[in-house]
Amino acid sequence: MNFIIKTFFLILLFTSCKEQKPQEDLAHNWKTHFEIGEPFETEKLSQEFKDYWYAGEAEISSYELEQARYGEIRTGKAVLIYVTEDFLPEIQVKADHYYTKNISVLKLNATKNFNTGIYPYSIMQSVFYPVSNNQHALKVSSSIQEWCGHVYTQLNNRDKFEIMSHSYFEGEADQEFKLNKSVLENELFTQLRINPKSLPVGSLEIIPSFEFCRLRHREIKPYKAIAKLEDNKYLVDYPELNRTLSINFNPEFPHHILSWEETFKSGFGYNAKTLTTKATLSKRIKSSYWNKNSNKHETLRDSLNLN
């Protein structure tokens, strides 16, 4: 009898010490589920952050786009869609159900649409970045469609960066390879929204955005870069690529991205010239857009200046 009583109290003591965490805080305690091995500190989520990003809505911002392509500037639209989601680290997809191993991520779907003469371009890049801000993006994907064909690239963050790339160009074709982990340009647009002061600075190596690598037919790998954070501007210079990136943002929470510029050599051969792609904020709303997919909701595009 004494043995049974002692066992009961041991079980009671053990279970009472387990702290139940809110779903949005799980990202802070997932080192037991996933090996990090990255030099970041876990970000402590403020109540302000939770109130804004866990309100059941996405933040949608539209931008007036001036896109350099084939040595000329094209006009179009860019849209940044941010939303928090539960993410499964093993299979690296959005979680349909609540599991204790879920990771809370800030997802960014970034789109661009513009025309080059008679034919259109459509570009989309997706980033799944942990709100804990304690490692690199868990997954990045990019697709580019135009009348000549389409390309797709995906990175999965596991022991190394596992990259799969498909292209209609002979020199790129179907590829699968691994890279040692380094800063991803794609993740900077989400890391900034969580904490701009955590952005990497100094001399380092950065893997340029998949969009740039595919459009310029550059190898997907880390390139030497110099990064600076100046008040409300984040600057990245790639000496090897003769390319610079500048992101302007509101220094106050939630650190809205006001504009960005990308200067590089556009075009090929005699048509190549150094031009600057620009995206300037037009409209911004918060909306559970996934619930607004009826024909009657098309008028909501006016609020984003997209019609």
**DSSP of 47-70:** HHHHHHHTSS-EEEEEEEEEEEET
Residue 5: pLDDT over 50: no
Overall average pLDDT of the 3-24 stretch: 42
For the chain, what is the mean pLDDT?
Answer: 87
C-alpha distance across the termini of the chain, in Å:
76
- Percent of the chain exceeding pLDDT 90 equals 75
Host H or E run for residue 153: strand 149-157
Q: Residue 117: its pLDDT value, please?
A: 97
Nearest 10 degrees: Cα torsion 20, 26, 28, 29? 60
Integer Cα distance of 218 and 72 in angstroms: 20
Question: pTM here?
Answer: 0.85
Q: What is the pLDDT of residues 251-305, one digit of tens each?
A: 999 999 999 999 999 988 887 899 999 999 999 999 999 999 999 999 999 999 9
Q: Which residues neighbour 16 within 8 Å (Cβ) at sequence distance 6 or greater?
A: none
Q: What is the pLDDT of residues 56-91, one digit of tens each?
A: 999 999 999 999 999 999 999 999 999 999 988 777
- For CA atoms 291, 293, 297, 299, give the dihedral sign: positive
Tokens of 89: 């680290």
Q: Residue 44: its pLDDT value, please?
A: 85
Ramachandran assignment for 274, one of left (phi > 0), alpha (psi -120 to 50 degrees), beta (any other): beta
Domain residue limits, the chain: 21-304
Helix/strand number for the chain, H first, E second:
4, 16
The model's confidence at residue 40, banded by pLDDT at 50, 70 and 90, is low
Residue among 76, 24, 16, 83 at smallest CA distance from 56: 83
More confident position, 248 or 42? 248
The model's confidence at residue 37, banded by pLDDT at 50, 70 and 90, is very low
Integer Cα distance of 116 and 31 in angstroms: 46
What length is written for the chain?
307
